[in-house]
Copies of this chain bind each other. A is one copy, B any other.
Amino acid sequence: MRKHITGYSNPTVKYLRSLRDKKYRKREGKFLAEGLRLLTDARECGRIPEVLVMAEKRDPHPLLDALEAAVAAAGGEVIETPPDILGKITGKDNPQSVAGVFAEFDTSLGQLDRNAAPIWLVAQALRDPGNLGTMLRTGDAIGAGGLLLIDDCADPFSVEAVRASMGAVFTQAIAQARWEEFLPWLRGGAGQLVAASLRDAVPYRGAPYASPCFVMVGNESQGLPEAYEAACDLRVTMPMKGRADSLNAAVAAAVLGYEVLASLN
């Protein structure tokens, strides 16, 4: 049963728009994802949106039919709305034809099974949601188990992060913790903590990586605090041939992550 909404001031539209704001996402425990491909990835991972919003006059698609059926079967809500209202909801001028509202996942350290994967990515105080999304996407590609967010990071459930993750927000585990919680948790089991560093570091190629390997990158402008680097099991350095002394954080995680993948194989 589809519900038609045509007015900007409709309370459901206001509610959906509010989910672009972190404060409301946290209060509601929900987040927005957009696009047929991304929502299909979610469905195939067993994540069904609680609310599905479809643009009127969209092109028909069997995957969209499958999505709508899954939402209906799960007791969710299906809404049709003019494309411009969908654009208002997702904040895009050229909105995708479909968006969904999902319940946020458990992001406690306790839900992680560190032995489920040989690699985990760790982001410390990353402020750019695009970087977080890109790290999720890279994590999916290298077979990582998930992304651990240490200290004050951007919100992995923001529209920008979900978009940049290209669906990996549904395949990668996500955990959030302060450093003071993370380090004892890590030391409570197997796990090698590796950081890209300029201090007391060995070349990143051929370094003695060990599974499960936690690959950590730090804040975009500050890098990792010195004490955090000191607590790592391994500090590695990548060639920097030019004037710059650092890479983009998501790029550093990817170059290092692919090296770890090759080393552990």
- A232 contacts the other chain (Cβ, under 8 Å)? no
Least CB distance from A153 to B in Å reads 18
Least CB distance from A213 to B in Å reads 14
Q: How far is the CA of A221 from the CA of B7 in the complex (A)?
A: 32
Query: How many chain copies does the complex carry?
Result: 2
List the B residue with the shortest CB-CB distance to A141.
B240
List the B residue with the shortest CB-CB distance to A44.
B243
Does B238 lie within 8 Å of A137, measured CB to CB?
no
Least CB distance from A165 to B in Å reads 9
Partner of A243, one of B41, B239, B241, B246: B41
Instruction: Mark interface residues in A150-184 (1 if CB within 8 Å of B CB, else 0).
Output: 00000000000000101110010000000000000
Does B250 lie within 8 Å of A238, measured CB to CB?
no
Q: How far is the CA of A262 from the CA of B259 in the complex (A)?
A: 12
Does A140 lie within 8 Å of B243, measured CB to CB?
yes
Does A141 lie within 8 Å of B241, measured CB to CB?
yes
- A255 contacts the other chain (Cβ, under 8 Å)? yes
Does A205 lie within 8 Å of B242, measured CB to CB?
no
Does A171 lie within 8 Å of B262, measured CB to CB?
no
- A138 contacts the other chain (Cβ, under 8 Å)? yes
| Contact sample, A vs B, 15 pairs, CB 8 Å cutoff | A41-B243, A137-B244, A138-B247, A138-B248, A138-B251, A140-B244, A141-B239, A142-B241, A143-B239, A164-B248, A168-B244, A239-B258, A241-B261, A251-B251, A255-B255
